[in-house]
Amino acid sequence: MTETMTPDAQAELQAEFDALIAADQRIEPRDWMPDAYRRTLIRQISQHAHSEIIGMQPEGNWITRAPSLKRKAILMAKVQDEAGHGLYLYAAAQTLGIARDVMTQQLIDGKARYSSIFNYPTPTWADMGAIGWLVDGAAICNQVPLCRASYGPYGRAMVRICKEESFHQRQGFEILLTLMQGSEAQREMAQDAVNRWYWPSLMMFGPPDDESPNSAQSMAWKIKRFSNDDLRQRFIGMLVPQAEALGVTLPDPELRWDEENERWITSEIDWTEFQEVLAGRGPMNAYRLQHRRDAHEDGAWVREAAAAYAEKRSPRERSETKRGAESDREAA
Ligand SMILES: [Fe+2]
Ligand SMILES: [Fe+2]
C-alpha cells in the first residue's frame, strides 16, 4: 500500500503520525503507521503474548502439589490470569494484521521468542513464591510504563494486566513470608529459591542500555518509556526493602546504594547465561516448547469442533448472535 503512494501523500501521513506521537496521542488500528512501527509492535506484542502462555508452565507444574486447598485455588487463579493475559495480547497483535494461528505456529515451530525467564525449572514449592515476588515483580516494573504505550490496543490491554500482576506479586511475597516464618528447612528453601530467581529476574529487563540497539527507536515511538537499565534500577529499589521485610538475602554481596550518583551498585550480570538461554540452550527450553506443541496437538479436536459448529449454524443464527452481542455491548 505504502509503495504505490506518491511521495507527498506519504510525507503527509508520516507528518500526521509524528504529530500524534509528539502530542502523546494514541495510534489506533485504523490509523496509518510506518511499516517499521507496525513490525516492531507485532514482534513485541506477540513475544509478550507467548511469554504469558509459556509462563503458565513453571507454575502449572505445582497446582496439583500446592500444600493446601487454598494455595491450590490461588495458584490456579494466578495461572489462569496468565492465560487471559496471553489472550488479550494476541487480540491486540491481531489488530495490526497478523492472525493468531500464524503467531501460534511461529511459537510452536520455535521461530518466535518468549521471555527467557520461563526456561528455568521449578523444583520446590518456594519457587512459586520467588516467581510471584521476583518474576511478576519485574513484569510489573516493565509493564506499568507500557500502559502509556503509544499504540492504543496494547496500552489498554496492559492496564488490566498490571492490576492482575500486582495481585500475583503479593501472593508470591506472601508465600515467601509464610515460609520465612516457618521451620529452618522452610527458610532455607525460600532463600534457595530467591538465590536461583534473583539474577534471571534482573535479566528480564534486557541487555544494558549501550547494548540495546532497538531501545532508542522504541523510546522515540513512545512504545517504551524508560531504558532497560533505568527499569532494572527501579526494580532493585523496590526489592531491597521487601527483602528486608521478608528476612531473605539478595544474593549479591556487592549490592549497595551509591549516594553520590543515586544508583544501585551491583555485581556484573552474567550476560553469557542470558545469551545461552535466549539461544535455546537454557535448562528447560526444549521441554517448554515440546509441552506447548503437545498441548496444541491435543487441542486440535476442540478447534475442529468449534469450526464445524460455526459451519453448521445457519447464516441467520450467526447474525442473531452478532446482533445479540452488539446490544449487550450497548447495554453495558
Ligand atoms: Fe501475566
Ligand atoms: Fe503474572
Contacts of 74 (CB under 8 A, 6+ apart): 66, 171
Which ligand is closest in space to the CA of residue 138? 2
Q: Which sequence spans correspond to the domains of the chain?
A: 8-282
pTM: 0.90
For the chain, list the strands marked E by DSSP. 256-258, 263-265
CA–centroid distance, 32 to ligand 2, in Å, is: 33
Instruction: Give the pLDDT of residue 319.
Output: 72
CA–centroid distance, 59 to ligand 2, in Å, is: 10
CA–centroid distance, 233 to ligand 2, in Å, is: 20
**Rounded Cα gap, residues 116 and 234, in angstroms:** 21
Residue 122 in contact with residue 64, Cβ under 8 Å? no
Instruction: Give the pLDDT of residue 321.
Output: 67
Which ligand is closest in space to the CA of residue 53? 1
Which ligand is closest in space to the CA of residue 86? 1
Instruction: Give the pLDDT of residue 203.
Output: 96
Phi, psi values for residue 59, rounded to 5°? -90, -35
CA–centroid distance, 82 to ligand 2, in Å, is: 6
Q: What is the DSSP string of 125-161?
A: THHHHHIIIIIHHHHHHHHTGGGG-SBHHHHHHHHHH
Instruction: Give the pLDDT of residue 171.
Output: 96
Which ligand is closest in space to the CA of residue 51? 1
CA–centroid distance, 136 to ligand 1, in Å, is: 7
Instruction: Give the pLDDT of residue 315.
Output: 74
Taking the CB of residue 307, how many other CB atoms lie within 10 A of it?
A: 10
CA–centroid distance, 137 to ligand 2, in Å, is: 8
Which ligand is closest in space to the CA of residue 143? 1
Cell 516464618 belongs to which residue?
Answer: 181
Helix axes 228-246, 184-203, angle to 10 degrees: 170
Q: Which residues surround ligand 1, an ion (CB under 5 A)?
A: 52, 82, 85
From first CA to last CA, the distance across the chain in angstroms is: 37
Fold of 8-282: Ferritin (1.20.1260)
CA–centroid distance, 329 to ligand 2, in Å, is: 28
Average pLDDT of adjacent 10-residue blocks, the chain of 332 residues: 75 94 96 96 96 96 95 97 97 97 95 94 98 97 94 95 95 98 98 98 93 86 92 97 98 96 95 91 94 96 94 77 63 56
**Rounded Cα gap, residues 135 and 192, in angstroms:** 15
Which ligand is closest in space to the CA of residue 135? 2
